[in-house]
Structure 1
């Protein structure tokens, strides 16, 4: 009996030790799993951005699929043998067409306790991590691999998840997700993608572009005569359709079949062994032609824009012609003869305008009269050219402006050329100059700023000679709308200066040195603006401003029309140097002819509005939100305006 017990004891003892080792191993490994997560080893799990260039020295989360009590292999040896199997099983299915650098972007790790979640970048591929890893047991080998996304999954903006989809036209290549290096613009462009207008026409043009590139190479191949004829026929059919259609609605009903036929032909052409250099050369030629055509259209658009700005609209031309004809058909009472004693009386308040636009001049005069406290004291001297003289005369004879007097003068009949041989040979209202300067306030050294400066034209320098008996006048431009009473300007002390004007310190004379041709001037002085100016004619005559103007004119113009007009800017700035009295900025709010950002409060508080710039309120190009201030003073129920369809 003793021998039996002694003989059977060792196996029972060995079995007990084997189970104890297995239990201890399970406990050890169950503690090792959460410890690995706490130490950050879970970072080695593969995820949406995997790299095939991982270092062999990187430690990974080991896979303990079996625990054998009789296995005496060490923990490190098990990890070394299982690491590559684990990576292969956990690696998601990355699309083959994803660029290499797309797969190398790092994940943004969250700082959540336990490190149990990984926050992906905004445009990262979605990836589901294994959910069946439990403490104390082997992890199951189920991995949910992401599907190849056909569109970019949404971001969470303010709690609302949007699905961003890219809708491509027929025949486009497979969609690709946004790449991280493009940043938020890629996502923004997909969120704000607009439906392409006339997409079928654009599709036809694209097919024609590719077909023309392949045709020369296909035509040279031996045995491809049929394909060459088919490609040429498709090109001709596309050209015929595009010559008759600009919009999708203009295309024939069979256009879909033509597109499919061209797609099929292009696919066959691409499969042929052609010389890539020939195709590349042809594509470059077509690209050059397209760029030249785009450049031509840009120049044409710019020319037509300036032509539209500088040319009188057809409706205003009609109005001027109808008024001229009506002047000779009817005989209206001449207001100037009734008020002849006022016209040269310096005790009245005299306003001077130089204009060729009857509608613009009438709005300026009407706005000044409607906002004046004593309109009976106002005398308006409207100087125009011979072409518009009779239209102006008839208009202001037909329409009254309270108690104000409007006198129309023909500049061609003033005969000032005999007195000033170098004086202007034609009417020259205020001149506007578009000046582009480098803005030192901007961080970019190439940032340019464009401003519009309005200065006196050549005709303004003859005002003291035209109105010899007057002592002080207010000069208005015809693109000005008056909103307040201007009577306080007449009592303003100019402190010995000649010209009271609003200064524009956005441009200083030092920035215009290329226009000054080396003349002495203070570079820190601000430019000044015409539009609303109070002129002391007595001091003008004492200072001989007109004589100085004629001397400068000799040096700045070379006899051509362009140089004569361009010389107005430096001459005006130099002739009135140190003779400008700076008016308060609230007198005039400018920039309404080119700046969309003028605030409503600034417009409301200004005594006068100046529409300097290309977009005048009487043009279709005018800025719509500023037009109402100008239209308010249009003459209502005028027969000739209705007949000529004048509706600014």
Structure 2
């Protein structure tokens, strides 16, 4: 009795351990089973995201947006958000607005879109130019969303690679969709075996081959056998629920992937436009270091810098190479280059690099002055809210036609305009009466001395006007401001400015008041500039400057040769790899490619 009593607690402990082990075994079997059932019913694991065939387009868009947020490059949230959500917001809002305005008989105003990058880049792709490039109506609509990216995509489109592998993957997916239903039918055992065998063969091939070059020689026969098996499965009456679900999944997956890659490629295109190339960054750093190493350069002909009898050119730029090409092309075509003075206004980061470059190089006797505008702005902080250099801005104006019109009938126009920094000119150059402002993306092909002989009367500025965009077409953005609806917009790039009349009329003060008055922040610069200079523009002949070499593939070579100035306004600047190659030759010939710093930094636009 005593021995038996001692064994009782031990047996109970053994039984408790046995039950615990049994419970753990059952639990270890249930967890994987539950996980698999969860995947089958739509549970999201880290490696697979099921797509419901009946999900609305909004859910698919959110799915793509989530992927973009996870995989996209790290940029400020406002820039990333603008790219990722642009299509979704633009489509829903514009369609609703168009329909409501059409019912009321209200004319549809154009949509002004500020490009989401600070350095001036934009493109111009009119309906005519798009059709010349062979782009269909869908691309015309795409161009309204993404600007010149869509035109660049068509121009640089490549043939699809590894098409056989993609075809095999599609066949495998379709065969898997039909196989479960066919396998349940006893009368179709032969077809079921054929499908299973072909599925196994393709799975084996695709496990070892990712590109067409890796495929075995007899893959074409395998593909034909699979195609025949799929055709046999389609001819059999089966339960369509599973097949329908699988095929809808591949359709939704393909649609989402195409949408995602479209947005991602457009995002990367804009990123390439905004980002300074590595070689250019190297050049700027090398020049800055050399400036502080070499103290032998200390020469500036100060007597020429404020001489009003000379020809003074002003360039706003933070790009050493671009501003160098502008100056070099100008002096190369000048009859008397010794009478030319160039004032390059740059930021603090590139000031020393600019200064060293223009002290190291000569430009046929012309004088080049480099100014740090960030230091100069401190003297006018009470008048403006500027804190850094602002390069000329570029805007896209989209004219949406009726909702029933083809996308190719929509029209997009691009305009470049002065930035905030330009309105400091009268204060920065108090001793000068007239200056010519050149953008850093222009190339001069003729002598510009006749610009100094222009009699502009009571006008303040000479510029090329763009009458395809009039102020009346932008009236929805001007609020309660008074303006002449028939006034044309004007372009920066080449501008003759009478600083005397500018000061008399208080142009800068008028501009700053309008900037504060305009409620829409992004469009404030272009709208304020248009209102400030209305009826004060002296129209230059269109042959003085031709614009669009940074986005328009349809410009004729004859027009380029006749123009005095070429303006590379657009995303595809000539110093970028994205630049249009047929126009780059006019820019490259004014770049000193033998310079040792360009070679060391591998600068080769």
Q: Compute the TM-score of the two structures, normalised by the length of structure 2.
A: 0.68
2:270 pairs with 1:306: yes
Higher helix share: 2
The answer for the alignment partner of 2:507 in structure 1 is 545
Distance 1:239 1:299, change over 3 A: farther
CA deviation vs aligned residue, 1:384-442 (integer Å, no higher than 9, x gap): 111111111111121110101111111221133753354322211111112222579x9
Contact 2:572 / 2:579 at 8 angstroms: preserved in 1?
A: yes
The answer for the alignment partner of 2:297 in structure 1 is 333
Contact 2:377 / 2:386 at 8 angstroms: preserved in 1?
A: no
| Matched positions, count | 447
CA deviation vs aligned residue, 1:453-493 (integer Å, no higher than 9, x gap): 01101110111112222211110000111111111111211
Equivalent of 1:635 in 580, 583, 592: 592
Distance 1:335 1:243, change over 3 A: farther
1:131-170 aligned within 5 A: none
Q: Secondary structure at the match of 1:636?
A: coil
Q: Secondary structure at the match of 1:530?
A: coil
The answer for the alignment partner of 2:333 in structure 1 is 371
2:302 pairs with 1:345: no
Contact 1:349 / 1:377 at 8 angstroms: preserved in 2?
A: yes
Distance 2:383 2:209 in 1: 59
Distance 1:299 1:251 in 2: 32
The answer for the alignment partner of 1:647 in structure 2 is 604
Q: Secondary structure at the match of 1:504?
A: strand
Q: Secondary structure at the match of 1:210?
A: helix
Q: Secondary structure at the match of 1:420?
A: coil
Distance 1:484 1:229, change over 3 A: same
CA deviation vs aligned residue, 1:114-152 (integer Å, no higher than 9, x gap): xxxxxxxxxxxxxxxxxxxxxxxxxxxxxxxxxxxxxxx
2:500 pairs with 1:567: no
Distance 1:490 1:567, change over 3 A: same
Q: Secondary structure at the match of 2:587?
A: helix
Distance 1:575 1:258, change over 3 A: same
Distance 2:429 2:159 in 1: 63
2:571 pairs with 1:607: no
Per-residue deviation, 1:568: 1.7
Distance 1:556 1:220 in 2: 70
Per-residue deviation, 1:236: 7.3
Distance 1:317 1:232 in 2: 58
Distance 1:243 1:545 in 2: 70
Per-residue deviation, 1:327: 2.0
Distance 1:195 1:636 in 2: 34
Per-residue deviation, 1:267: 5.2
Distance 1:216 1:575, change over 3 A: farther
Distance 2:194 2:266 in 1: 41
Q: Compute the TM-score of the two structures, normalised by the length of structure 1.
A: 0.64
2:521 pairs with 1:594: no
2:577 pairs with 1:620: yes
1:13-52 aligned within 5 A: none
The answer for the alignment partner of 1:488 in structure 2 is 450
Distance 1:223 1:439, change over 3 A: closer
CA deviation vs aligned residue, 1:333-385 (integer Å, no higher than 9, x gap): 1332xx01211222221111001111111000111111111111111110111
2:411 pairs with 1:449: yes
The answer for the alignment partner of 2:214 in structure 1 is 250
CA deviation vs aligned residue, 1:163-211 (integer Å, no higher than 9, x gap): xxxxxxxxxxxxxxxxxxxxxxxxxxxxxxx998634223213312312
Contact 1:499 / 1:581 at 8 angstroms: preserved in 2?
A: yes
Contact 1:422 / 1:554 at 8 angstroms: preserved in 2?
A: no
2:467 pairs with 1:505: yes
Per-residue deviation, 1:281: 3.1
In structure 1, stretches of 5+ residues that fail to align are: 1-193
Contact 1:417 / 1:423 at 8 angstroms: preserved in 2?
A: no
Distance 1:391 1:333 in 2: 13
Q: Secondary structure at the match of 1:597?
A: coil
The answer for the alignment partner of 1:515 in structure 2 is 477
Higher relative contact order (CA 8 A, sep 6+): 2
The answer for the alignment partner of 2:281 in structure 1 is 317
Per-residue deviation, 1:262: 3.9
The answer for the alignment partner of 1:280 in structure 2 is 244
Contact 1:367 / 1:482 at 8 angstroms: preserved in 2?
A: yes
Aligned-pair Cα RMSD in Å: 3.0
2:535 pairs with 1:578: yes
Q: Secondary structure at the match of 2:548?
A: coil
In structure 2, stretches of 5+ residues that fail to align are: 1-157
CA deviation vs aligned residue, 1:277-316 (integer Å, no higher than 9, x gap): 4322321221111111101111111111212222222222
2:433 pairs with 1:476: no
The answer for the alignment partner of 2:11 in structure 1 is none
Distance 1:420 1:260 in 2: 78
CA deviation vs aligned residue, 1:224-264 (integer Å, no higher than 9, x gap): 89987986786577567557755311335564565356446
Q: Secondary structure at the match of 1:415?
A: helix
CA deviation vs aligned residue, 1:489-514 (integer Å, no higher than 9, x gap): 11211111111111111211122223
Distance 1:604 1:328, change over 3 A: same
Distance 2:266 2:477 in 1: 24
Distance 1:294 1:261 in 2: 29
